[in-house]
């Protein structure tokens, strides 16, 4: 696997990325990600929290369907 950042000559960077990163040291591999990044604010907009949010609402939807199935609540019309 290589860095694959677009270079000024139009090609893709063929250097190896830093360990645990997708880019080489010249193409952003040195900058920290997540909480360590200097633009990090609250973490509510990270890929991880969005995935958790989606999982949460899917779970609530499932609970609602279960409640309807068991006759606990009326289905919406």
- As a whole number of angstroms, the distance between CA 62 and CA 52 comes to 15
25 binds Zn ion (CB under 5 A): no
Structure tokens at 77: 């019309």
- As a whole number of angstroms, the distance between CA 59 and CA 43 comes to 22
The minimum distance between CB 36 and Zn ion, in angstroms, equals 20
13 binds Zn ion (CB under 5 A): yes
The minimum distance between CB 34 and Zn ion, in angstroms, equals 21
What number of chain residues touch Zn ion (CB under 5 A)?
Answer: 6
21 binds Zn ion (CB under 5 A): no
Residues 6+ apart with CB under 8 A from 20: none
Site residues for Zn ion per CB under 5 A? 3, 5, 13, 15, 24, 27
């Amino acid at each position: 696997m290589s860095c694959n950042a677009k270079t000024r000559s139009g090609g893709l960077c063929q250097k190896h990325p830093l360990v645990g990163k997708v880019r080489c040291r010249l193409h952003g591999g040195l900058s920290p990600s997540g909480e360590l990044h200097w633009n990090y604010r609250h973490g509510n907009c990270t890929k991880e929290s969005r995935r958790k949010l989606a999982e949460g609402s899917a779970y609530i939807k499932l609970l609602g369907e279960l409640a309807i199935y068991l006759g606990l609540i009326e289905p919406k019309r």
